[in-house]
Amino acid sequence: MGASRWIYFTDKGGNAQAALDQLRERVFQQSWRHQEPSLDTLEDLMESGILEEEGGTHSVIDVDRVIETDDVDYEEDGTVRMVVPQEMLEYFGEEKPTRDVVERVYKASASDLPPMFRGSGCCAPVYDPQGNQVEWVFWGMTGD
């Protein structure tokens, strides 16, 4: 089936790991066919290896933890690396990009943004025009 790039925005700022957990649960609930889907069900599926056998979900569901590192080339399967300040300037042209800026950059050059390998992603804070963090953006590439 190949790899798929994906991008998601959360509806709040705060802690990146908490935002990722909520986002994964929301995407899982929207896409899974169980009557009462939950993150526990998702974790059970991941632990059983069923999702890996299927080539993953080609979505944010395929990553489960946020890591912080200064190594901008670091990519580990199942992780989302928080981009560092110099990357914000490099990728988005400003320290505090708004959602419009992030969407425009991603649409124009997603393949130029990390990650370069399947199975991981990146995240960054997203700001309102006044410079207040209002959400997170998560993007990555997963699949077989």
- 3-state SS class at 29: helix
Q: What mean pLDDT do residues 53-81 have?
A: 84
User: How far is 111 from 104, CA to CA, in rounded Å?
Assistant: 13
In contact, 121 and 80? CB cutoff 8 Å: yes
pLDDT of residue 54: 47
- pLDDT at 142 > cutoff 50: yes
User: Considering the entire predicted model, what is its pTM?
Assistant: 0.81
Question: In the structure, what pLDDT confidence band is assigned to residue 92 with cuts at 50, 70 and 90?
Answer: very high
Length of the chain: 144
Residue 107 tokens read as 């649409």
Cβ atoms < 10 Å from Cβ of 114: 19
pLDDT of residue 50: 45
In one-letter notation, the amino acid at residue 65 is R
